[in-house]
A and B are shown apart, each in its own frame.
Chain A
């Protein structure tokens, strides 16, 4: 039982990291970034790239991968999304779909589809840690939970109290009014993409270190998309309960059902949520009508 709980929290943390990227980009720019999963894979490969050039220096490698991912998020907005301003949002969403496919293909071209384990290159081990109550998790499982907690705390403080965070919320609500207040909303939007890239890279690096790295990790992004919708696409706070629910259902279906069922369980959760409360647990109804 404690094992189920522990695994649920670990899986939920990974989903929460990814779903935060969806919500950030959606809240700021109204665009569903369907390339979030592949941006996560990219983050994992950035870690691999930095780890091969500076082997044995985990802190530098992780910082480098995070910086590269944030930069790539920024550039994606600047080069692909900003020209889409003024076009239907649906067109911008299609651009993100294409971007995801291209990213995956590019990764295969450069790194082939071999499974990699960057952990060895970093010079770290991933020993199992018994918890109180008899559950066992890996060290990087704990890191994942810590990273998710830190990211959400930081995002909360940033959006609630910092001038830039308030500007981001303002620009997300009314970009034109924001520019009438001296806010360069394109810069703010690019920053939201950079943050989404950073969160995705955290998830990607941790998953790559903890489990494995291969070009198809992006599938996790789809599961996290279900998490974001269950929690409410416009609610950052809703991500946490959404992630816990989806992760719990997934863990339970692995344990008591068919492991194959586990892969579809996030989407069953999503389907159930869409039938009962289409705007998600903590989303706003009006927001849904606008989409």
Chain B
């Protein structure tokens, strides 16, 4: 028997199902687990349901006329399904969104103050109390630009500012939506290494939603692959890196001449055709 403490995961989804506009099923039966102090990546192409999953976790479905119709979200072992976004943040479930991630009319320093840090935690002592000087240590660039308006920052700097602000919210679990979106490969690599440092030094659990599988798997401990609203494959990083389909469709390597075309692969054939 394992003890209760070991069973309590920072974040766990159980058979989550989300429907848009009462008719269109976006994700179906999505279950995933995020272990403490680890990076879990959720991979998938456009429209696979990754962002919907994140929105369901962070309580943002209402704005899009979507709702959770089945399953539940467990945060530190307690169901948080349907809680309001700002309450989730104060409990330590913090999202770095895909776009619109900084307040453009505020300076960098004001951005770092425009938050209510988590205090509604059950075990607040377990959560890293990140201070401003620590944040500037992780992101020295922000210290130089602290008086600049965030609207003038570049894409990479915005991402850093968004990560820094999220850290100051005192997360227990950090949800990151498309860290690599629109950034140069060198910048992506630096950011991924930073996320790995946050995991190692602060003990953060991170759910990293990515299209860029190569960059994500460079730092992730475990990965899930999502297609058409379902999890189709999951495994530890090394198993994903070795998997033939993942290598071909997500990493773009390992293609052998004369091998099966993508339409032959099971996941891609599932779509019904008229002709």
User: Does the CB pair A182–B116 fall under 8 Å?
Assistant: yes
Size class of the contact patch on chain A: 10 to 19
Q: Which residues, 150 to 183 on A, are CB-close (under 8 Å) to B?
A: 163, 166-167, 169-170, 173-174, 176-183
Say whether A184 faces chain B, with CB atoms less than 8 Å apart.
yes
Tell me which of A86, A181, A184 contacts B114 (CB under 8 A).
A181
Shortest distance between the CB of B106 and any CB in chain A (Å): 6
User: 1/0 per position for A170-209, CB-CB distance to B under 8 A?
Assistant: 1001101111111111000000000000000000000000
Q: Which residues, 73 to 126 on B, are CB-close (under 8 Å) to A?
A: 84-86, 89-90, 94-95, 97, 100-106, 110-111, 113-118
Assuming the contacts A176-B100, A179-B85, A182-B89, asked whether A170 and B114 have C-beta atoms less than 8 A apart, the reply is yes
Collect the chain B residues with CB atoms within 8 Å of residue A176's CB.
60, 63, 85, 97, 100
Interface of B is mostly: loop
Q: Which of A163, A182, A183 has the largest count of B CB atoms less than 10 A from its CB?
A: A182
Distance, CA A183 to CA B100, complexed state (A):
16
Collect the chain A residues with CB atoms within 8 Å of residue B105's CB.
169, 173
User: Does the CB pair B115–A183 fall under 8 Å?
Assistant: yes
Distance, CA A183 to CA B106, complexed state (A):
15
User: Does the CB pair A184–B86 fall under 8 Å?
Assistant: yes
Tell me which of A174, A179, A185 contacts B103 (CB under 8 A).
A174
Distance, CA A180 to CA B89, complexed state (A):
6
Collect the chain B residues with CB atoms within 8 Å of residue A166's CB.
106, 110, 113-114
Collect the chain A residues with CB atoms within 8 Å of residue B106's CB.
166, 169-170, 173
Collect the chain B residues with CB atoms within 8 Å of residue A167's CB.
114-116
Shortest distance between the CB of B111 and any CB in chain A (Å): 8
User: Does the CB pair B86–A182 fall under 8 Å?
Assistant: yes
User: Does the CB pair A180–B103 fall under 8 Å?
Assistant: no
Shortest distance between the CB of B35 and any CB in chain A (Å): 24
Shortest distance between the CB of A32 and any CB in chain B (Å): 19
Tell me which of B60, B90, B110, B114 contacts A178 (CB under 8 A).
B114
Q: Which of B84, B116, B117, B118 has the largest count of A CB atoms less than 10 A from its CB?
A: B116
Say whether B52 faces chain A, with CB atoms less than 8 Å apart.
no
Distance, CA A173 to CA B118, complexed state (A):
22
User: 1/0 per position for B179-222, CB-CB distance to A under 8 A?
Assistant: 00000000000000000000000000000000000000000000
User: Does the CB pair A180–B58 fall under 8 Å?
Assistant: yes
Distance, CA A138 to CA B49, complexed state (A):
68
Distance, CA A167 to CA B114, complexed state (A):
5
Collect the chain B residues with CB atoms within 8 Å of residue A177's CB.
97, 100-103
Collect the chain B residues with CB atoms within 8 Å of residue A169's CB.
103, 105-106, 110, 114
**In chain B, what residue has the closest Cβ to A176?**
B63
Say whether B169 faces chain A, with CB atoms less than 8 Å apart.
yes
Say whether B41 faces chain A, with CB atoms less than 8 Å apart.
no
Distance, CA A173 to CA B95, complexed state (A):
18
**In chain A, what residue has the closest Cβ to B94?**
A180
17 further A-B pairs in the complex, CB-CB below 8 A; given A178-B103, A183-B86:
A166-B110, A167-B114, A170-B103, A170-B110, A170-B111, A173-B106, A176-B60, A177-B97, A179-B85, A180-B97, A181-B115, A182-B90, A182-B94, A182-B115, A183-B116, A184-B86, A185-B86
Q: Provide 15 A-B residue pairs closer than 8 Å at the C-beta atoms, listed in order of the A residue.
A: A166-B106, A166-B110, A166-B114, A169-B106, A173-B103, A173-B106, A174-B100, A180-B89, A180-B97, A182-B86, A182-B94, A182-B169, A183-B114, A183-B115, A184-B116
Closest 9 CB pairs of A and B: A170-B114, A182-B116, A182-B89, A181-B115, A179-B85, A179-B86, A170-B103, A184-B86, A182-B90
